[in-house]
Structure 1
């Protein structure tokens, strides 16, 4: 077959051109994204319950819902989190679950449970986790010409800022939503107006009426009746009665008839238009801002969205010079930066591979032949991507780069074998035919063994397994493409380049400069190895317990450390402070680190976002996005902020999370290192006193560990005196209505203004808590009774949040400690809880999930080695020779673990995958060597001479393929972006394994082979 192809170079060329053209066309349709599009098996139920306390939310809403939702198929874990006015249920499902079907099932279960909830509670929201939840950008809008801020206080939002919010909602968001790549624009920080009706109590008292007269007048004049139909001759007309209130003037001009006298509404009540009371705000730096979260269409390309947004921003800045537009948290930059670095690493790897071939072959033509196989194999791989529906992302691209080093292996082996046959005096076409046929079987075996180690990775649980499908397919397709190119295309062009030569000769110019003789050191080393065989075998046996010892010493985590220059700071002040005080504290906090910061976006208090991309917080909490000057500055910021909060607000809780991006949403650790869950032995929610007592004991027992205080909030309770209310003929409704009026929360209706609505409320200007009891309520007889006579005020303390899971109610104690201290901390906590008879403790956290993942990967490594054994046993028709080849994996694993320990890198998903992949790659050299030795022995060569001759003939391709694989992935050791950070431990594992494995393949494998077969 090969000889026939040599005679048809034009046919082969046209076939190659056709495949390249198809691949280039397919590349235009390949989606480009940061991560693969996979389902995230998570669903969140959000419950809104205005006016309910944390315990009412937990008992009345969340527990009935959780009991119903616990029956959903495939549920792995369910937790409920209750707080005042709201709650949430988080559901995690088994990996590879069909989230769309589960989403329907959850909604059906929810519909059944809603019937048991109070009637005034709106239907809970069901949110399916999706990669599209992460906004592509955040756009901050603030005013340029604003009043100067006061000393040590944040700048206040003026009247113009209210107009900015309306402008952002009505104009800016609509302009952005018109872009074809934009799905929607979510926003927060908008200040809406409200109409407040302040009664003239003096006039109302003289008239002998209460505020209900005004409320009834407004409600009676705000009507919209149905249409009537009337006939007029041959025509029919529709008659509409419309008396809706749509403005402040409409309210002022309402007429009231009281005892025969006509009053205008504005005579009895002052109508004031003012900004509505805010429960949250947004700041860009120090300035009040409106922030817009721009969410892209699912099928849109990030690059197209980036281009459209850049053009629109330029237009907006020119059209509205008084508004400052600032893009933050740009996902497209993260994508483009990672993709550019991955692409440059790919190019560098190809160039280094060409350089190695050029030096070792000492010929100008063969490097050209080998380098051709890289782009040809790549375009075929990209065509396969299109067919398989795989996108270009940092996972699939890293697989391509990993494959780049192995793509040229087959070509090197083919060309080197052709040269060897040609030197024996064969005709060129016979040399090509015999050389290709001779190495095809071991090359196919090598490809199968390499691909076989990726196959078990697909069965890795969770989203990690789904992610590495892309990497496994990238390497598999690339290797098979390079194999086909090496045996079908490369021989044809080799024949075309060298057919005019009668024999092969080195390039004298190159040979003059590259004179290193690597055969002589190899022979010396191999002779030394054979003479000291017993010592080396004893060392080999000792590596097994040493590898276990190093495994225990090395740090373990789920993911490698990824450097960042931005973070999300979450602060819970753990006290019932006002929004204004919260804002002031955040301002003073950021002033401590201002010199290290490039940009901040502070979200103080409750936010107005509709989507779930931003954490829901209370008025006493804040979420702050911080962009630092560099990664080192970020570490200083985190340290200074933690120290400042501890010294000034010891009860507050501070946490730093990686800024939300698609990678972290899918893959990153979401919890703390260790969480101790305190369960009451009585099976009920623990009390405040019990939790406070145990947490204080834990804090004393672990003085070197930061134990956060129990999260509490102060409550004011008004207890009705039922007997006094009966004596004074006051109803609950009258008391409640009076209190709502005093705090301006008695909303009568809302005036629809298109994109928003203006609430119309009655009452006084906002009263303080101390003013409530001084108010008076009118009884049935029109007599005003002081509220202090019918209600009593008490103050209490309760949990800020209540938690429950599949095991019942619990209180979580979050403990962030180093990996090495976890066992000590767990033992101490267990002892403290055991002494306290009210609780028992269970532990969760990333400490356990990371070890579970490592255990899964160890099993996968064993499965991969088993597959390698089966494939090698089938190839060599032997049960001994596969063990000889696989013995080097033991040595490689020890040195990889030792190298990770020395370099301070953890044993994580990526480094473990590097171990698995290295196991498949490194034995390729040994496969070729053992196959060559077997072939020489079959031709009658003595064992010792076959060992030396086989090693000598395969020395050059082994060194070349190892160097090229190492250099192709070496650029990843430069940790400059997320893609490189993610691949660093994988690359480090492979480079260490390949370096050690090459030495083992050259010297130790021949030793084992010789020791086993010398008696035969």
Structure 2
């Protein structure tokens, strides 16, 4: 028994399977993770190593080079690059996309741990690049006291937000971090013969909280603790550092102790107000949308004492909740008695919390837009299907098949761990138009069998079985093209895997529905009537009514009227015939209604039908509650044996149960009533409710039919005329086959000429309504100066009417997907969020061009614009200048930047090899230091303690820990002369002749390592100053050194505006061709351009493999090598339409377009398969070759146009390019639409011509 036979013979089973699919599909949809992008795993690692105080050249030689050499032989490694900055080394490793990154991490860690690094170097960190490392939400905390804000964020808000399921970490930025500063008077320190190291030791020794073990006092066990922590700041100043005779030397005698804040490294502002940024990161497998909603719920409602972001109406009454800004935190209002209070309810007065950015908003908008386009695509496909079929039943069957297939797709997505994102939902939207193709083919075959005289059931069986293999082969050709996607290298393969899986799942689901649900529904007599199975229940109730004896009917009806008599009299005799007629009307209504085409017939029959249904419903209740409760209900004349075997045992059983079970009558009544409600009342109530709905739908369609009848008639006439025209044209082209081939070849060749004129790019940029303005000032610019310039830029940006929100970070440039920001005092970033209307109508490019012109008036500042990149961590265009000499690299990079001026579409060209950072260089005299007994390590520590300071211990303030920093006063570390006056030796106590010999006290302990007080100052020798043992001078070193493949490079980057990447790359290469370069120097193009070339090459291979797989499937179907070759010409025709559409609509060739071409390889051949398959069938029946081709063209024109129209209209909403994420969907949809239309039009002409030329078989008759 085939699957079609099973579906027709077991309609209840199929219905239950469909119902299960609907339920599980909905549950799967609700549990699918929702993210913006698929799970992209970039094969990239960054080895970050910190070595404080080291210059870039030292970092390069001592760290970067060694790590590069150690990891350079790891399997799968593609490129090694490094950036050596002051104190930091970043070695970036890029692997093949098929590399197991978990194994790669272990291999890298093992090799890095074996590298010999300087002693003071921190252990290298391994950082993964992942776009999802960007925060899903940023919050702004504003108020007057920046110290209080930072404490509130670090110690209160962080703890509340980190407990939210799905939140991985919470990072703070901005504000003032509290710190206790011990500022040493260096002159006093030198006079007393003390060092910074001794101060640190005394602070640590005096601030202890240490366990002392356990002590047993009788039967009681006690815990011993040594508690001597600082309780106040004043107490810190009172500690004794040393003894001067009998007088103690306290810390306050030589230092100032104050509670202050750490030296600022970053400044954050939101809409002009300095704030603390709270960035929230989600876990890797968490649902972005759900996590964001949970965060908003935890934050609480804005009405709980919280102001909006722009703080425009601060004078408004605090209890005014009428106007809430859209940027304010949205959530649930906190009520009294909640176990966990919302964040906003814990905020002090005058503190505001609001959302700066929310990634889930863009995700929800993009996904809602995709769902909307899919919905409209499905409706348009159903509409065009109705125009062709003009049959409500068939249209509704296909309309039901679409959501069933979609929900089955969600089940498959859930079990394959495919998330809901713009790519997977885009694939589902692409498949909507194709979901109905299988259903159309099956229904068309069933109707053809009906026209040939088969019964409904036989037509459903034979029609579905005849096209079952063809439909399966057609689906497999479409699915087969997605297998080569696994061979696509680069980011393209990562992005489009989810889309390929979704389309595959959708087509498999549509195939299963077409071969089971469609024939089952088509085989039902009455089809898709609104009552459905309820009509069967009504018929059963009607039969039951007539099987009941007239006496029982009369008793039930009389009892219902309050006359419980055996002889009902004249009341029953007058009422029952009318009710019986209503019941008969309810059974025959469908036949009568379908036989009437006029609206009055519906008006007359509707009340009769409704009354009959209502009577039968009442009868079921009456019969259940009254008739079988009558005493002596046995039929008149019943036999004694029947009474003995039925009624007596029942009476005995009832009697015994009454004795055994308490409340038997109540239980009996409850069970009986429950069964009657479940199996009688509820089904009939459903039928009673669904009947008016069904009638309403039929009425609406009847009215629409009357209104649309002229349109449908005109469409039908036009289709007939089109068939006649097509047959006439086909007859003529078959008579001039070679001329036709020449014309079509000319069309295809003309389209091929357009290829060099098409632009190329990696992936279209998504319009997210935001961009960044990066400010770079000369190296060495202090943070305060950078902040002043950034404020000026911020004000200019905020004055733009299209800007909604401005977020400023001074002192750091964020790196997308990185865990650690690049902190430099001379940089700032101004993040700009646009108004929603401006984003839709103007876009970021127009606003950036306007601001770029206004910001040119800022002097001595380099201003660059950047858009958020979702699919790559490299800039569009990178020029790698390879050489060794840093001076030559700087000069050549400057010449390259100058050569790029004037290149059309190129903006913000700059060299990453910035000016050298001014530095103070200390060169020690080793001989002099050895003669004076000064250790180089001690001297270096003394310099660090004086200038940067060191954290001696921490002060406990409640549950918070505050660092205690010890360093020289600011007035003692302003000039180089003061640095030269630094004492760099540790005073020798009692053994000046040999400073290397430790001075032991009476107990044999080393006082340097004990907690005892230092010796009296008078016993110490004179201090050695830094100027006596070292040369201190100003110098300028490189700010950073970059290396690629163990060669020094200078990078020149640029952004693109209004032009494709391929065109700019060609123009840049021509500009640089004549640029003179020093020996051993060369320039390579990198960035996204290199990724584009890699992806394009693998995509071309995938297209070739997709065509080959389609040919294999068709060869297996036709059992021929010639016929698949004929069909493959339709793909060439599709390419010509694609090239023409891309050129006319100015769409660049990207991996999105190439994916569309891969899809076309499996779609466009379906029409040719249908045509060639029917030609072969006619040939087998004995038709002449030419006659078979013409007849097949006329017969198959209708289904070909139907499938093409449904697919095209299903994709039309995607092609319109509306909403978030349209930049990805639109090129793909236009590619498929253009290729499908051109292929359909030319296939109907070319395929018959090529068939008659290549197929030379004898006529079947001969």
Tell me how large the CA RMSD over aligned residues is.
3.4
CA–CA distance in 1 between the matches of 2:1240 and 2:257? Answer: 86
Deviations 1:287-334 (CA, angstroms, capped at 9, x unpaired): 221111112234433333233222222243454352221213312112
2:237 pairs with 229, 240, 252, which one? 252
**CA deviation after TM superposition for structure 1 residue 578, in Å:** 0.4
Report the counterpart of residue 152 of structure 2 in structure 1.
167
Deviations 1:990-1012 (A, max 9, x none): 01011111212222222222343
Structure 1 CA distance for aligned equivalents of residues 1148 and 1170 of structure 2 = 33
Q: CA deviation at 1:127?
A: 1.9
Aligned residues of 1:744 and 1:765 also touching (Cα < 8 A): no
* Partner deviation per Cα, 1:106-162 (whole Å, 9 max, x = no partner): 22222222xx1112111111123345523220111111xx4xxxxxxxxxxxxx211
Q: Secondary structure at the match of 1:568?
A: strand
Residues of 2 paired with 1:174 and 1:744: CA distance? 31
In the alignment, what sits opposite 2:124? Answer: 124
Note if contact 1:973-1:988 (Cα within 8 Å) is conserved in structure 2.
yes
* 1:619 aligned counterpart, secondary structure: strand
Are 1:49 and 1:86, in contact at CA under 8 Å, matched by a contact in 2? yes
* Displacement of 1:941: 1.6
SS of residue in 1 equivalent to 2:1218: coil
Q: Contact 1:80–1:803 at 8 Å: present in 2 too? A: yes
Q: 345, 358, 373: which one pairs with 2:373?
A: 345
Match in the other structure for 1:472: 500
Q: Structure 1: how far apart are the matches of 2:1208 and 2:1197?
A: 17
Give 1:166-245 correspondences, 5 Å limit.
166-199=151-184, 217-218=202-203, 220-222=205-207, 227=212, 239-245=224-230
Partner of 1:157: none
**Are residues 335 and 611 of structure 1, via their aligned partners in 2, closer, same or farther at CA, if it must alter by over 3 Å?**
closer
> Is residue 677 from structure 1 mapped to residue 663 from structure 2 by the alignment?
no
1:300 pairs with 2:286: yes
Partner of 1:761: 966
1:800 maps to 1039
SS at match of 2:1164: helix
Q: Distance in 1 between matches of 2:24 and 2:82?
A: 52
Q: What SS is found at the alignment partner of 1:357?
A: helix
Deviations 1:453-505 (CA, angstroms, capped at 9, x unpaired) = 11112321234324433222222222222222222221221121458999999
User: Matched residues in 2 for 1:4 and 1:225: separation?
Assistant: 79
Distance 2:509 2:201 in 1: 80
In the TM superposition, 1:386-425 aligns within 5 A as: 386-425=414-453
1:560 and 2:764 aligned: yes
Asked if residue 892 in structure 1 is aligned to residue 1102 in structure 2, the reply is: no
Paired position in structure 1 for 2:95: 93
Alignment-derived partner of residue 154 in structure 1: none
Q: Which shows bigger deviation, 747-756 or 497-506?
A: 497-506
Judging changes above 3 Å, is the alpha-carbon distance between structure 1 residues 838 and 394 closer, same or farther for their aligned structure 2 residues? closer
1:373 aligns to 2:391 (yes or no): no
Partner of 1:35: 37
CA distance in 2, matches of 1:897, 1:611: 36
Q: Secondary structure at the match of 2:916?
A: strand
Task: Give 1:806 shift.
Answer: 2.0
Q: 2:258 aligns with which of 272, 295, 305?
A: 272
1:6 match: secondary structure: helix
Closer/same/farther in 2, CA of residues 613 and 199 from structure 1, 3 Å limit: closer
**1:515-540: CA deviation from partner (whole Å, max 9, x where unpaired):** 23222332343345335533331133
1:149 maps to what in 2? none
Change (3 A) 1:558 1:744: closer
Pair 1:325 & 2:327 matched: no
- Quote the Cα distance in structure 2 between the aligned partners of 1:40 and 1:948: 55
Check whether the contact 2:767–2:844 (CA below 8 A) recurs between aligned residues: no
Query: What is the aligned counterpart of 1:288 among 274, 285, 289?
Result: 274
| Cα distance, 1:674–1:307 mapped onto 2, change above 3 Å | closer
- The answer as to whether partners of 1:582 and 1:620 remain within 8 angstroms in 2 is yes
2:1194 to 952, 969, 984: 952
Question: Which of 819, 843, 855 in structure 1 is aligned with 2:1085?
Answer: 843
Structure 1 pair 98–967 and aligned structure 2 pair: CA distance change class (3 A):
same
CA contact (8 A) 1:3 1:429 kept: no
Please say if 1:591 is aligned against 2:801: no
Equivalent position SS for 2:378: helix
| Cα 1:607–1:242 shift into 2, 3 Å | farther
- Corresponding residue for residue 634 of structure 1: 844
Pairing partner for 1:686 from 885, 906, 913: 885
Question: How far apart in 1 are the matches of 2:1161 and 2:415?
Answer: 29
Give the structure-2-normalised TM-score: 0.73
Q: Does 1:809 align with 2:1058?
A: no
Q: Show the 5 A alignment for 1:509-658.
A: 509=706, 511-514=709-712, 515-516=714-715, 517-518=718-719, 519-543=723-747, 545-594=749-798, 595=800, 596-606=802-812, 612-613=818-819, 615-629=821-835, 630-631=838-839, 632=842, 634-643=844-853, 648-649=858-859, 652=862, 654-658=864-868
Alpha-carbon distance, 1:235 to partner = 6.2
**Contact 1:186–1:609, Cα closer than 8 Å, also in 2:** no
State the Cα deviation string for residues 780-799 of structure 1 (Å, max 9, x = none). 78768887676655443332
TM-superposition CA deviations, 1:575-614 (whole Å, max 9, x none)? 2100111111111122222223211222211489999346
CA–CA separation in structure 2 for the residues paired with 1:60 and 1:246: 44
CA distance in 2, matches of 1:888, 1:408: 21
Aligned pair count reads 986
Q: Could you tell me which of 343, 360, 366 is aligned with 1:316?
A: 343
Q: Judge which range, 704-713 or 252-261, deviates more.
A: 704-713
Equivalent in the alignment of 1:930:
1172
Q: Is contact 2:1136–2:1235 with CA below 8 Å preserved after alignment?
A: no
Is the contact made by 2:1152 and 2:1227 (CA closer than 8 Å) also made in structure 1? yes
Deviation sequence 1:950-990 (CA, Å, 0-9, x none): 11111111111111111111111233344332111110100
The alpha-carbon distance between structure 1 residues 217 and 1014, as it changes in their structure 2 partners (threshold 3 A), is closer
Partner Cα separation in structure 2 for residue 1013 and residue 723 of structure 1:
95
Which deviates more, 816-825 or 955-964?
816-825
8 Å contact kept, 2:186–2:972: no
**Structure 1 segment 611-1010 matched on structure 2, within 5 A:** 612-613=818-819, 615-629=821-835, 630-631=838-839, 632=842, 634-643=844-853, 648-649=858-859, 652=862, 654-658=864-868, 664=870, 668-680=871-883, 685-687=884-886, 689-705=887-903, 707-709=909-911, 710-720=913-923, 722=925, 731=934, 740=944, 743=947, 745-751=949-955, 754=959, 756-765=961-970, 769-770=974-975, 772-773=977-978, 776-777=981-982, 793-816=1032-1055, 819-834=1062-1077, 836-837=1078-1079, 839-1010=1081-1252
Moved more, 513-522 or 360-369: 513-522
Q: Is the 8 A contact 1:280 1:603 kept in 2?
A: yes
Unpaired runs of 5+ residues, structure 2, are: 302-341, 528-589, 598-701, 988-1019
Contact 1:140 1:292 (8 Å CA) reproduced: yes
1-structure distance, mates of 2:159, 2:739: 77
Structure 1 residue 100 displacement after superposition: 1.9
Task: Say if 1:42 and 1:92, in contact at 8 Å, map to a contact too.
Answer: yes
Distance, in Å, in 2 between the alignment partners of 1:962 and 1:504 is 35
Tell me which structure has the larger Cα radius of gyration. Answer: 2
Give the Å deviation of 1:900: 0.9
Gaps of 5+ in 1: 147-159
Structure-2 change in CA distance of 1:734 and 1:891 (3 Å): closer
SS in 2 for 1:658: coil
* Structure 1 position 353, deviation (Å): 1.4
Deviation, structure 1 residue 84: 0.6
- Residues of 1 paired with 2:941 and 2:122: CA distance? 22
